[in-house]
Structure 1
Amino acid sequence: MNEQGTKDQTVSGHPSPGGERPVYILAVETSCDETSVSIVRDGQEILANVVSSQIETHQRFGGVVPEVASRKHVESITWILAEALEKAGLRPDQLSAVAVTQGPGLVGSLLVGMVAAKAFACAMELPLIGVHHIAGHIYANQLVHQLKYPLMALVVSGGHTELVFVESEGRFRIIGQTRDDAAGEAYDKVARALKLPYPGGPHIDRLAHEATEAVTLPRAWLEPDSYDFSFSGLKSAVLAVLNQAGMKGIALEPSAVARGFQDSVIDVLVEKSLRAVEAFGAKQLLLAGGVAANKGLRARLEARCAEAGVPLLAPPLSLCTDNAAMIAAAAFLKYRRGQFAPFDMKAEPLLKLEAWSV
């Protein structure tokens, strides 16, 4: 048994962990509204990373509709699997294992990926690896950087805002997290108030950079020693500013509101991250998650990390949003230790990161 209580499996005819043969992991990611299949060699070299986005489908609703997302995954997963194999130039019998996002995420979306991965692994007699979605975001950095432990990871996405201390490879400890809205969720809600298209993050970021002034908004620092985050009050403050301006007949410049909002979010994310790096003696700060693509956040983190002498690692924009390459990278940690999942593994929409540690 491994630490998660699942049986370690070995499959004859395939390379064992630590062997000299290349390890090819096919990974499936369907936690929200991207359908993705990737093939990664030895946990670092991306041979294929096919991503099908549903943004255009969900734009008309102003956000992700879970039932629609699940149906789109069903429509896409088979051809995306075939395309990933074709792009990688591999036959199914050359693969070493199949990985899939186990959680967290939308349960219907997770189930589609889980069933597809299980069916493929069973048909090809390959071991199965369940992966935590946030572990994937963190280890997306391993695809382009050399990680040095201990490290601190700032995970910022539509559903998550967390500071994760990674003491050693695959050992996670959440030291701070959002108490209400995730940063990406707050971006989308503010964008909706400004009548901007979904997803709102890129539009807020663009407007903030175009602004010549900023509306003054509060910073939610919480308790002096807290690494937690809170963005619900900031969102409410933005709505209050817009409502008051409307009642007074004042036309607020959307770019000024966007910049005020973004400055408030970034100030808190950056300062708490740097404080955590110092307190925990981290050798690197990793940026991860969909909001890691935000230019304002990247620029401020780069400046502050340079001042503090802390190396900042961030994946390219293509690996910030949900993709299966990051799932394969995290799965490689389990593969090397022979920590494979049973075929009755369940999708867990509330899967805890610490529980997934290798």
Structure 2
Amino acid sequence: MIVLGIETSCDETSASVVSSNKKILSNIIYSQIDIHKPFGGVVPEIASRSHVQKIDEVIKISLKQANLSIEDVDAIAATAGPGLIGGLIVGLLTSKAMAISANKPLVGINHLEAHALTPRLTNKIDFPYLLLLVSGGHTQILEVKGIRKYKLLGGTVDDACGECFDKVSKLLNLGFPGGPAIEEAAKEGNENSIDLPRPMINHKNLDFSFSGLKTAVSNKISLNMNQQLKNNIAASFQKAVGDIFYKKIEKASDYFFKTYSFKPNIVISGGVASNEYIKKRLLDLSRLNNVNLYSPPKNLCTDNGAMIAWAAIERLFENPYICEYEIEVNPRWQLSGLNQ
């Protein structure tokens, strides 16, 4: 089975061809980082306009790199939500038109489920597993029971972690996107030099809060900050986030063990999963508990068409007759809505 996957939910225009034997035949990504950099964040109207300009070219290059035509693919998949509505419309309408004209089935993919399943593209992971899904728009701990079977164990009550990285980077004038900028600055900083809070770290539930951490960083900002102080704040901020994730996943693992009577595989996915420091903290936890930690390679952590194609393949394995020409975009489509 060969699927063409199209991703346009935020600021990447991507098309990828993936086979059911886990071969990524192409994965073309056009990033809008340089377009949004002057604004310090993603501007939705500019993002959707860029998707319109680039999507046909990206699809064409993806098929060419895979040495295939649209007639050679078995299905077309596109992100239907959640995400920025303008970008979602561009990707889904383009995919619908292609699928109908080529007489191919269309599979509408939940962007979060694609992140949740991507580690199964690059690793052999059985259900159930424990997932930390952490990106610019979402921070969630999930019990992944199967395709379209998710239980939300905890989520953010305010800012998403990736959003907090961007805002802290902006406060420190480190650049956009904030995740890589903070990670790079933190390498030259002292992670124990700045006292920062760990909001909700000792709460019994598995929820997160990042707005207080962001505010605490802003209170450390001075007019005469040198680069070393910025590095120290970046390192201390990153350590605070790492501490929070360590503690919450430790608690989630205990819940999982009580539920299933065996220790869970731990999976981290989403854009923030490309942060090597955070991955190392969770790797330390997994080794301590003698369990496996899985994460996609960096190029599959951030938004990409391959994860959309793979999520469609997973769904088609379960139901080979899926065809969703009638699906509409849903900018607020949550994983919990897939269980019905």
TM-score between the two structures when normalised by the length of structure 2: 0.94
- Distance in 2, matches of 1:81 and 1:113, equals 11
User: Conserved in 2, the CA contact under 8 Å of 1:43 and 1:330?
Assistant: no
Deviation, 1:45, is: 1.5
1:124-162 C-alpha deviation (Å, 9 max, x unpaired): 101110111011112111121011221011011111111
Decide which of 298, 306, 311 is 1:317's aligned counterpart. Answer: 298
- Distance in 1, matches of 2:213 and 2:321, equals 42
- Distance in 1, matches of 2:331 and 2:21, equals 25
User: Conserved in 2, the CA contact under 8 Å of 1:43 and 1:328?
Assistant: no
Q: Which SS does the other structure have where 2:333 is aligned?
A: coil
Match of 1:270 in 2: 246
Match of 1:112 in 2: 90
The question of 1:349 aligning with 2:325 is answered no
User: Conserved in 1, the CA contact under 8 Å of 2:116 and 2:131?
Assistant: yes
Q: Which SS does the other structure have where 1:214 is aligned?
A: coil
Match of 1:179 in 2: 157
Match of 2:237 in 1: 261
Decide which of 194, 204, 208 is 1:215's aligned counterpart. Answer: 194
Q: Which deviates the most, 279-288 or 319-328? A: 279-288
1:161-204 C-alpha deviation (Å, 9 max, x unpaired): 11111123441111111111001100111111111111111111
- Distance in 2, matches of 1:124 and 1:199, equals 38
For 2:335, the aligned partner's letter is L
- Distance in 1, matches of 2:201 and 2:277, equals 23
Match of 2:105 in 1: 127
- Structure 1 residues 64 and 131: CA distance shift in structure 2, 3 A: same
- Structure 1 residues 148 and 119: CA distance shift in structure 2, 3 A: same
For 2:291, the aligned partner's letter is V
- Distance in 2, matches of 1:92 and 1:189, equals 41
Q: Which deviates the most, 205-214 or 113-122? A: 205-214
Match of 1:237 in 2: 216
Structure 1's consecutive aligned runs of 4 or more residues displaced over 4 angstroms after TM superposition are 249-252
The question of 1:303 aligning with 2:284 is answered yes
Computed over aligned residues only, the root mean square deviation of the Cα atoms, in angstroms, reads: 1.6
User: Conserved in 2, the CA contact under 8 Å of 1:181 and 1:232?
Assistant: yes
- Percent identity reads 38
Q: Which SS does the other structure have where 2:164 is aligned?
A: helix
User: Conserved in 2, the CA contact under 8 Å of 1:149 and 1:283?
Assistant: no
Deviation, 1:218, is: 0.5
Q: Which runs of 5+ in 2 are unaligned?
A: 258-262
Deviation, 1:224, is: 2.8
Match of 1:340 in 2: 322
User: Conserved in 1, the CA contact under 8 Å of 2:201 and 2:247?
Assistant: no
- Distance in 2, matches of 1:196 and 1:210, equals 13
Deviation, 1:93, is: 1.5
User: Conserved in 2, the CA contact under 8 Å of 1:43 and 1:143?
Assistant: no
Give the paired residue count. Answer: 332
Aligned counterparts, 1:7-156, within 5 A: 23-42=1-20, 44-156=22-134
1:249-300 C-alpha deviation (Å, 9 max, x unpaired): 7767111111111111111112211221221135311110001111110111
